[in-house]
Structure 1
Amino acid sequence: MRSARRRFAVLAAALATVTALVPAGPAAAAAPREVCGPAAAGFARCFSQVDSRPSGGRGVRGQAAPGGAAPLPSGYGPADLRSAYGLPATGGAGETIGIVDAGDSPTAEADLAVYRETYGLPPCTTANGCFRKVNQRGDAAPLPPVSGTWPVEIGLDLASAACAQCQILLVEGDDPAVDSLGIAVDTAVRLGATVVSNSYGITESRLIGDFAAYYDHPGVAMVASTGDEGFTVPNAPAVYANVVAVGGTSLTKADNPRGWTESAWSGATSGCSAWVAKPAWQADPNCPGRTVADVSAVADPKTGPAVYETTIEPGWTVVGGTSASSPFIAGVIALAGHHDQYPDASRLYAHAAQLNDTVGGDNVKYEECGGDYLCTATPGYDGPTGNGTPNGLAAF
């Protein structure tokens, strides 16, 4: 009988082969568009996707903005996400969210200003000390050149943070090389980040141990996106045992007591590590190694947040992927004020009963997995959504 690790490795290979053989067609044309394509060896890719539907990618949804101004953009705004996850509008003063990305977004601060003004949030600028942008060495200049389409990722990261009163520290790696991003993480911590969000990753292999130290900072909560490839081989840094791995959901309004319904997003990566040992606080039965995810939030680009970005995608778009859920969960951790209690994700397992348990949906696109929890959102812990989504701050 084959071992669990071999079963998952074989399945991952089969998934990759079948994906490559699927022909393009009308349905594929309407599929979300990946912001970052495949990355070369030693380089990370971002995990954001733009909603490509004509009615979803741009335009307004008709709801008046604060103060009776022009209608709000398509996509969820801060008030929507606070409603969906039971979060307060204030809190987090004194916390700093570190956002690590590759390359510069020349318009990041100006775009953030438009976003926050649109939704009635307090200004977050260099002038008032709320916003700071530096290179991977911690200097305000010289900033790195723009790296491909990463400015869209940066716009999403800045828009997705749940904590309106937190300070934002954007650290821009020289490029998407794993070492550059790791150095940027170290810099974010050195400059005072209390929570660091990493919305990128590389496929797990024997080499990931070489980069693990970048994400080991006791006293600082380290958060990372699981990825957008569905059920497959996990990604680092999310797979590291001391990182909170954030999966993704589809989130829609509903006529029920919560006012929302949630299911596993089909793109959210989950998987069983062949290289990282099972943490003591993780007890799921069908994976002998580290399982991802730990927790989740909205990531489906068809139900994603509104993003304003002008370097690559001028204007308003709806952007998702687990690049949306990672900075959002980072913001929730900052709101709760317990960043020093995240040497790993164990807190979210101890308080799992205080999360929204997401049930329904799976992340296997081309192969059946028999409804196993590793790829299906079942009651209790499961791979795509982890222990669930925020239900207020009690679990955090």
Structure 2
Amino acid sequence: MGSPRTLRRALALLAVGATALAAGTVSTGTTGSVAAGTATAGTAAGTAAGAPGANPAAGVRVRPASAGHVNAAGRTAPLSTSECVSQLGLHCYSPLQYREAYNLNPLYKEGVTGKGRTIVIVDSFGSPTIQHDLEVFDKQWGIPDTQVEIMKWGNVPPFDPTNPDHTGWAGESTLDVEYAHAVAPDAHIILVETGVAETEGTTGLPEMMDAEQALIRSGRADVISQSFGATENTFPGYDKGDFHSLTDLRYAFKEAAAHNVTVLASSGDNGATDAKENGTDLYPYKVNSWPSSDPLVTSIGGTQLTLDDTGKRTAPDKVWHDAYGAGGGGVSGVFDRPWYQTGVANVTGNHRGTPDISMSAAVDGGAWTYESYDPTRVGWHLTGGTSEAAPIFSGVVALADQLAGYRLGQLNWRLYGLNLLPNQWSGITDVTTGDNSWDTVTGYQAAKGYDLASGLGTIDATRFVHALAGR
């Protein structure tokens, strides 16, 4: 049926040749031939709440978009941006450059580091080397270590480094953990590893929602970062106007709203279109994806940063649209326009519009990650996509929660309210250039104010965190 997948673009760079990409190729992952895995229901929670005795999205499969890069070897050390440009023809960035670009350092000097807050990251399979890899990552950049809490949900199989499903999700887990931690170094991180079985006809979405609901109910989640999604059109019944197979999965987000937990989701890496049921081909017209499209979720889109070696901008941010992908965005085919988007109804029409806010996602502007879960490709790799943008923003939310002294919960009404203020007060910076066209589908153009390519824009974190926290 449908094909949920992580919204992650990945490049693994070989340390050979001064002017060529690894193995002479760049894999974006979403069009790879790796077979999709499917998930069984979580054994610890049973059937999803709100859908008794049923799997509402049976057949909608979960697979990581990062799977296409697993055969490339890693570099022994990361390169600077100028070295990446000269040797690889791509921009590459470290977490220290992001800290400079997003003006995070003044917050750290104030003691705002995410202390006392918990970021929950949900990924199938996880990574058996996540703690070691994070420690190597931290040592490289001088970031204080933290102990990642691993929560296994369901029947998580032993990790198999020869299984591309396992390594693909491990890459996603690594990206999510390393960059949430880089932004909020003192926040506690819980990595939820769900058990995805190679059984056609079942799905991992109820399992993921069950895990999130359990953590919310136990009071252990402040912000949840989701780097996965499924095209709305692939859910059973969509073509008949019956959306229950999707809406019956919203119980975790309703629980989050009731407990003031912030939920984020990547907006997608295929611009204004997205994958069909086979997980490979794209729709030839505009579509949107869930959970990004859910009104109870903050949708995180993608921008392309142009930074020097220190992290200072040499050009304004623009909508991510390079040779490898484009930031997801558009209008939902399932959800009506929520009340908080009333002020941008001239853009969204009568439907929910995404994204809400955007962060770095370009592959030509990828983030360095350290990975050792696959013994054939240990080392430093470059990764991009809105799967990068979501964990970066999760760290920002943890900072704001700490400064406020309480969970800020649903952010969208706050974001659209802040957008009415001048930038020097709101910390929201408009993105006015670029578009998210992709494949054969003409997308949306960035423009002054809200648009369906970048949302409200991007952020100056120091101003934004203070404005969001009201302090």
TM-score, length of structure 2 as denominator length: 0.67
Question: 1:339-380: per-residue Cα shift (whole Å, max 9, x none)?
Answer: 7333251211111243121121111134574xxxx6112111
**How far is the alpha carbon of 1:31 from its aligned partner?**
4.2
Alignment of 1:149-298 (within 5 A): 149-161=168-180, 162-175=183-196, 177-189=204-216, 190=218, 192-205=220-233, 206=243, 207-216=245-254, 217-218=256-257, 219-232=260-273, 233-253=287-307, 261-266=316-321, 267-282=326-341, 283-287=344-348, 288-298=350-360
- Root-mean-square deviation over aligned CA pairs: 3.0
1:323 corresponds, among 358, 379, 387, to 387
| CA distance in 1: counterparts of 2:307 and 2:123, whole angstroms | 31
Closer, same or farther: CA 290–48 of 1 in aligned 2, 3 Å:
farther
The amino acid of 1:117's aligned partner reads: K
2:141 corresponds, among 119, 125, 129, to 119
Is the CA contact (8 Å cut-off) linking 1:249 and 1:263 kept in structure 2? yes
Equivalent residue number for residue 33 of structure 1: 28
1:43 corresponds, among 42, 61, 64, to 61
2:152 corresponds, among 123, 126, 135, to 135
| CA distance in 2: counterparts of 1:136 and 1:113, whole angstroms | 24
| CA distance in 1: counterparts of 2:356 and 2:75, whole angstroms | 29
Equivalent residue number for residue 378 of structure 1: 447
User: Equivalent pairs: percent with the same residue?
Assistant: 29
SS of the residue 1:306 aligns to: strand
| CA distance in 2: counterparts of 1:49 and 1:378, whole angstroms | 34
Question: 1:39-97: per-residue Cα shift (whole Å, max 9, x none)?
Answer: 57322344558889x9998853258xxxxxxxxxx832221111111113352110111
Tell me, yes or no, if structure 1 residue 80 matches structure 2 residue 75: no
Equivalent residue number for residue 302 of structure 1: 364
Greater shift, 302-311 or 332-341, is seen at: 332-341
Residue segments in structure 1 that go unaligned for 5+ positions in a row: 1-25, 64-73, 126-130
TM-score, length of structure 1 as denominator length: 0.79
Is the CA contact (8 Å cut-off) linking 1:199 and 1:326 kept in structure 2? yes
Question: 1:219-270: per-residue Cα shift (whole Å, max 9, x none)?
Answer: 1110110111111211111111010000001111169985553110121111
| CA distance in 1: counterparts of 2:146 and 2:156, whole angstroms | 20
SS of the residue 1:93 aligns to: coil
The amino acid of 1:34's aligned partner reads: G
Closer, same or farther: CA 145–32 of 1 in aligned 2, 3 Å:
same
SS of the residue 1:133 aligns to: strand
SS of the residue 1:202 aligns to: strand
Residue segments in structure 2 that go unaligned for 5+ positions in a row: 1-20, 39-58, 82-90, 160-164, 197-202, 234-242, 274-286
SS of the residue 1:231 aligns to: coil
| CA distance in 2: counterparts of 1:365 and 1:180, whole angstroms | 31
| CA distance in 2: counterparts of 1:85 and 1:323, whole angstroms | 18
Greater shift, 29-38 or 149-158, is seen at: 29-38
Is the CA contact (8 Å cut-off) linking 1:230 and 1:270 kept in structure 2? yes
